Amino acid sequence: MKKNLLSWFLLILSALMYGCAFIFSSLWWLTLIFLIPLLYLVIHRLGDSCEVLSYSEALVWSSVSMLLHLSGIGYSVMKSGPSAFCFQCMRLIPLVPIFCYVVFLSSTWLWLSARLIQIRVVCELGPVRIIIFIEALALYFYAMVHWLMCVFGRCEGYTLIDPMLPLARKPFFLYPMIVLDHFISLSLLVGFAALCAVTLYFFRHAQYKKMLFVVCGSVGIVCLWMSLAFWMGQKIQAYDPSNVKKVVNRIVHCVGFFPVSKNTITDACEAMRDHFTKALAAHPTADIILTHETVCRMDLLEYKQSCARAFAAQALGRPAHVLIGAFRWNGDMFHNTVYWFYDGVLKNFYDKRHAMAVEERLPWFLQNAFFKQVFFGKLEQITPSKETRKVFKLSDDIVCVPYICSEFFFNKKPDEPQDIKARRYTILAMCNDMWARAEFLKDLMALHARFKAIYWQRPVVYCAFCRGLFITPAGEEYVLAQYMFPDGPGYRTE
């Protein structure tokens, strides 16, 4: 009875630590040790020659951990619709099978990994079984991060459950990932936890000589990781803080939203002009206005004459680059688009190449009138563009490549043409975190921008509703000057 209770305690403790490492910023370090209770249970049962992990135990671990990780999305989906409780609950209905799918996939993978090391052929390999289980666990996390959402029509995962992500709170600890593959990094993380679990097992059974050998292995992984971190810390391109501040001082991050109709196009343009003028007046050194992903649900290309008058130097008080997130119709396709204006002239625009499942498009199994009404109402779904990613050269020292929200989060690597990628231009990540009603989700989105800046070794300008940051490849963050429209993100012109 006591052994059974201890087993459940270790399982639930591991799952809770996994979730809390992401939800609470001060507990980021739990990502280093959350697997120790689970692996201790596995190793203990291997020593007793009993079933390593039952399916019910794998199901409980997956349910608790995924409930914590996906709770923010569930809460956000509930609060994004009508305020009536019945409508909020209705919006959760499609998420239930999605949650069941994630838990089923997670628990099945864990259970099969445990069963693998109990096959007779594998059992004869002795201690090698632990290495096999470590690699199976590392592959599990890699699959969750990169392949989990294949059922929605695109091979991608949920990046905000990556065990490496919390390490971005201390950028130094992420530097080894610059030279190591993501899977290798996960293998080292799981291997460290496994060696700690084995150490505890030998200590409990008073096998001190074996314990000393395993401790040396743990120390070896730590020394390898720290050595790579120090080495890469010396190789990362250094950014002179004074030069970075000069660039940052040229940018003002404007926060707000202008819902418009055909009857309010002129009013919306005039309102944007007024607020952009005030933003430039409040920040005399700024000549670049950045917004988030969706300032207005409006085709600026169709009304570019109105925008040209609103964003001209005469209207704003001085010439300025205006990079604004909006939309564009292309035949019957509806694109999420970034427009670049300078002195009232439309210099270029870029259409988003990715659409987020459920939030921006419905997956194949929800494509019907009922769910379209529940999730989008009278709004249109986003059509991903197939065009090549563009470059916006604002000046000789500021050249950026736009990424719009989900395509920044879900891309494994930059998907620019090779000649552009080689120049390592600044990534302009224009995002929308207003949908994330849970504060920890907004925090994780900004943390992921730092993660990508380090992992991709590219400077990132991150613009969302709640945060505007310039992040260097070393993970250093500079807060952009912010101007909030009078009523904040919910400002309306009507």
Burial of 297 (0-12, 13-18, 19+ CB in 10 A): middle
Q: Which domain holds residue 301?
A: 241-490
Q: Are residues 222 and 327 located together in one domain of the fold?
A: no
Give residues with Cβ within 8 angstroms of 471, minimum separation 6: 449, 450, 453, 459, 460, 461, 462, 477, 478
Under DSSP, is residue 300 helix (H, G, I), strand (E, B) or coil? coil
For residue 358, what are the CA distances in angstroms to 4, 8, 67, 94, 486?
40, 34, 18, 9, 31
The closest alpha carbon to 265, from 295, 303, 294, 293, belongs to 303
Q: Are residues 255 and 289 located together in one domain of the fold?
A: yes
Token look-up 């990079």 returns 323
For residue 5, what are the CA distances in angstroms to 11, 13, 41, 342, 414?
10, 12, 12, 66, 47
Q: Are residues 343 and 227 located together in one domain of the fold?
A: no
Report the CATH number at residue 305. Answer: 3.60.110.10
Q: Which residues, in sequence order, are bridge partners of residue 433?
A: none
For residue 325, what are the CA distances in angstroms to 212, 341, 390, 404, 432?
58, 11, 15, 9, 10
Burial of 305 (0-12, 13-18, 19+ CB in 10 A): exposed
d(CA 145, CA 362): 21
CA dihedral 407, 409, 415, 421 (to 10 degrees): 130
Q: Which residues, in sequence order, are bridge partners of residue 255?
A: 484
- 303-309 long-range contacts (CB < 8 A, ≥24 apart) are 303/265, 303/269, 304/346, 306/265, 306/266, 306/269, 307/269, 307/339, 307/341, 307/344, 307/346, 308/341, 308/344, 308/345, 308/346, 309/269, 309/273, 309/344
| Total of domains in the chain | 2
Q: Which of 235, 250, 268 is the last residue of a domain?
A: 235
Q: Are residues 188 and 261 located together in one domain of the fold?
A: no
Helix %, strand %, coil % of the chain (to 5)? 55, 15, 30
Angle at 347 between CA 341 and CA 348, to 5 degrees: 105
Q: Are residues 215 and 263 located together in one domain of the fold?
A: no
Q: Are residues 262 and 325 located together in one domain of the fold?
A: yes
Q: At what angle do helices 95-116 and 128-146 cross, to 10 degrees?
A: 160
Q: Are residues 267 and 224 located together in one domain of the fold?
A: no
Phi, psi of 93 (to 5 degrees): -55, -50
H/E segment holding residue 268: helix 265-282
CA dihedral 406, 151, 92, 443 (to 10 degrees): -30
d(CA 223, CA 230): 10
Q: Are residues 203 and 304 located together in one domain of the fold?
A: no
Angle at 361 between CA 357 and CA 364, to 5 degrees: 80
User: How many residues in the chain?
Assistant: 494
Q: Are residues 103 and 202 located together in one domain of the fold?
A: yes
Q: Are residues 128 and 261 located together in one domain of the fold?
A: no
pTM of the shown model: 0.91
- pLDDT tens for the chain, 494 residues long, are 566 888 999 999 999 999 999 999 999 999 999 999 999 999 888 866 677 899 999 999 999 999 999 998 888 877 766 566 666 677 777 788 889 999 999 999 999 999 888 877 666 667 788 888 999 999 999 999 999 888 877 888 999 999 999 999 999 999 999 999 899 999 999 999 999 999 998 998 888 888 998 999 999 999 999 999 999 999 888 888 888 999 999 999 998 877 665 456 777 888 888 889 999 999 999 999 999 988 887 888 888 888 888 999 999 999 999 999 999 988 888 899 999 999 999 999 999 998 887 777 877 777 777 777 777 777 778 888 988 899 999 988 899 999 999 999 999 999 888 877 777 899 999 998 888 888 999 999 999 999 999 999 999 999 998 899 999 999 999 999 999 876 544 333 33
d(CA 110, CA 62): 9
- CA max distance for the chain: 81
d(CA 439, CA 487): 20
Q: Are residues 245 and 230 located together in one domain of the fold?
A: no
Q: Which of 206, 235, 264 is the last residue of a domain?
A: 235
Q: Centre a 10 Å sphere on the Cβ of residue 416 and count the other Cβ atoms it contains.
A: 18
Q: Are residues 272 and 379 located together in one domain of the fold?
A: yes
